[in-house]
Amino acid sequence: MTIAVFLCSLLGAMALGIPIAFSLLLCGAALMWHLDMFDAQILAQNLIEGSNSFPLLAVPFFMLAGEIMNAGGLSRRIVNLALSVVGHVRGGLGYVAILAALLMAALSGSAVADAAALSALLLPMMVAAGHDKGRSAGLLSAASIIAPIIPPSIGFVIFGVAANVSVSKLFMAGIAPGLMLGVALWLTWWWLVRKENVIPPARKSLAEVLQALKGATFALGMPLIVIVGLKFGVFTPTEAAVVAAVYALVVSLFIYRELQFSQLYTVFLNAARTTAVIMFLVAAAMVSAWLITVAQLPDQVISLLQPFLEHPKLLMALMMLLVIVVGTAMDMTPTILILTPVLMPIVKAAGIDPVYFGVLFIINNAIGLITPPVGTVLNTVAGVGRLSMDTVVRGVWPFMLAQFGILFLLVLFPDLVMVPARWFYN
Q: What is the pLDDT of residues 165-208, one digit of tens each?
A: 988 899 989 999 999 999 999 999 999 888 777 777 778 888 88
Within-domain flag for 13:
no
Q: What is the pLDDT of residue 58?
A: 82
Comparing C-alpha atoms, which of 413, 307, 400, 292 is closest to residue 360?
413
Q: Between the CA of residue 341 and those of 4, 98, 295, what are the distances in Å?
A: 16, 34, 12
Within-domain flag for 151:
yes
More confident residue, 77 or 409: 409
Alpha-carbon gap, residue 292 to 289, rounded angstroms: 5
Q: What is the pLDDT of residue 374?
A: 67
More confident residue, 44 or 60: 60
**Among 96-100, 316-320, 370-374, whose mean pLDDT is lowest?**
370-374
The mean pLDDT of 136-162, rounded to a whole number, is: 90
Within-domain flag for 384:
yes
**Among 47-51, 249-253, 416-420, whose mean pLDDT is lowest?**
47-51
Alpha-carbon gap, residue 116 to 399, rounded angstroms: 18
240 alpha carbon, distance to own chain's centre: 17
Q: What is the pLDDT of residue 333?
A: 82
Q: What is the pLDDT of residue 298?
A: 64
Q: What is the pLDDT of residue 33?
A: 79
Q: What is the pLDDT of residue 400?
A: 94
Half-sphere exposure of 72 (CA within 13 A, CB side): 30
Comparing C-alpha atoms, which of 170, 123, 139 is closest to residue 336?
170
pLDDT of residue 6 exceeding 80: no
Contact 184, 145 (CB under 8 A): no
Alpha-carbon gap, residue 85 to 35, rounded angstroms: 61
Q: What is the pLDDT of residue 296?
A: 67
Within-domain flag for 15:
no
Within-domain flag for 29:
no
Which amino acid is it at 358? G
Q: What is the pLDDT of residue 13?
A: 78
Contact 94, 139 (CB under 8 A): yes
Q: Which residues constitute the domain of residue 366?
A: 39-425
**Among 137-151, 164-178, 221-235, whose mean pLDDT is lowest?**
221-235
Q: What is the pLDDT of residue 37?
A: 73
Q: What is the pLDDT of residue 75?
A: 79
Within-domain flag for 16:
no
Overall domain count for the chain:
1
The mean pLDDT of 100-118, rounded to a whole number, is: 82
Comparing C-alpha atoms, which of 285, 292, 299 is closest to residue 330?
285
For residue 411, which phi and psi values (nearest 5 degrees)? -65, -45
Burial (CB < 10 A; 0-12, 13-18, 19+), residue 19, is: middle
Within-domain flag for 323:
yes
Comparing C-alpha atoms, which of 157, 173, 147 is closest to residue 419?
173
What torsion do the CA atoms of 23, 24, 26, 27 make, to the nearest 10 degrees?
A: 120
pLDDT of residue 3 exceeding 70: no
